[in-house]
Chains A and B, each alone.
Chain A
Amino acid sequence: TQLLEQSPQFLSIQEGENLTVYCNSSSVFSSLQWYRQEPGEGPVLLVTVVTGGEVKKLKRLTFQFGDARKDSSLHITAAQPGDTGLYLCAGLRTLLQGGSEKLVFGKGTKLTVNP
């Protein structure tokens, strides 16, 4: 069961365009992380957001965490072919007992940026 819904599932755009990817959940997470994954490789961490309302920028990428810590967005400005990949959001759920934790992933948004 995927607790995080990502939209859109697929996105194909031209180089230079802007785009936004959304990640929504009915659950509250202690933090939310965005990863980028290329075919045949493991996910690579882009950013972690922890505080409700937090905004982080990474070059042309802007990440926002919702005030209620249930949703997040990723905005890419002037997309380039090198941005092509699978973008995954993941929420961290910690259990009070035993110090256990679990990262719950969405299905991802497959982005293709055409030259």
Chain B
Amino acid sequence: DTGVSQNPRHKITKRGQNVTFRCDPISEHNRLYWYRQTLGQGPEFLTYFQNEAQLEKSRLLSDRFSAERPKGSFSTLEIQRTEQGDSAMYLCASSLGRQGDRGYTFGSGTRLTVV
């Protein structure tokens, strides 16, 4: 068990470009979450997958954001036409079924900087 893996760790992009992040959860975890964290704030919920189904999306997730989890394994988060306000740490987490009460395992995040 290597934990939750996120790639890349850092991404610098020009405004208007598209970016895609990848998350590999713990293999037996069926629940996967994306969060965004800006400086001085706690993580904010973006979206949640149970297996391959995307069950909830935050209103923070504009139509420029899309997330997928094909086959219920890894997940990708794509941001189209990036804006400076998208600069943040993007965190992925996973948990195991109803035992989500036991807490989430977070990855180390992808730090996005839009210039």
Chain A residues engaging chain B, CB cutoff 8 angstroms: 2, 4, 30-31, 33, 35, 40-45, 48, 50, 88, 90, 92, 95, 98-108
Contacts and interface: CB of A to CB of B under 8 A. Distances in A.
Given A98-B55, A100-B55, A33 B103 contact: yes
Contacts, number: 67
Nearest to A2: B42
B48 A43 contact: no
B56 A102 contact: yes
A101 B49 CA distance: 10
B103 A45 contact: yes
- Name the interface size band of chain B: 20 to 34
Q: Which 4 A-B pairs have the closest CB atoms?
A: A42-B106, A105-B42, A45-B103, A100-B55
B101 A95 contact: no
A43 B102 contact: no
Interface stretch (B12-20, B80-88, B107-115): B107-115
B108 A41 contact: yes
A101 B32 CA distance: 11
